[in-house]
Amino acid sequence: MKRYLYIAAGAMIGAVLRLSISLFSSYAGLPFFTGTFIVNMIGAFAAGYVTCRIIEAGSLRKDFLITGLLGSFTTFSMLSYEQYMLLAIGDYVMFTVYAAINLMSGLTLAALGWKIAERRNR
């Protein structure tokens, strides 16, 4: 039961942070997909970093941060929906660019987070 409470607490914080960033990017007049891109890139870096720093499986800290906070903060479903919307409006170039940038940036930032944490572990 304790594990579920840690995950729920992290998820609550992650969801509020995600909404805040999405609202900010919307109010700033940025393209509709900007908030998702920002949270997914922060999340990719943080997941790489946290996973390397907290190796032990079943750790309550890892459950709170990875499954709870980052799980609700980042969103693959919204990324997929936004890519579909770009296709639906016929913006094939932006769809291709957005998909490629998300994949490449996400992988790069996850690896960077891991490498930085790895150096701190020494």
Pick out the residues of the known binding site for Na(+).
71, 74
Residues annotated within a binding site: 71, 74
State the amino acid at position 14 in one-letter form.
G
pTM: 0.85
Q: So what's the pLDDT on residue 51?
A: 87
Closest C-alpha to 121, from 67, 32, 52: 52
Averaged pLDDT of the chain: 92
Flag residues of the chain having pLDDT under 50: none
List Cβ<8 Å contacts ≥24 apart for 90-97: none
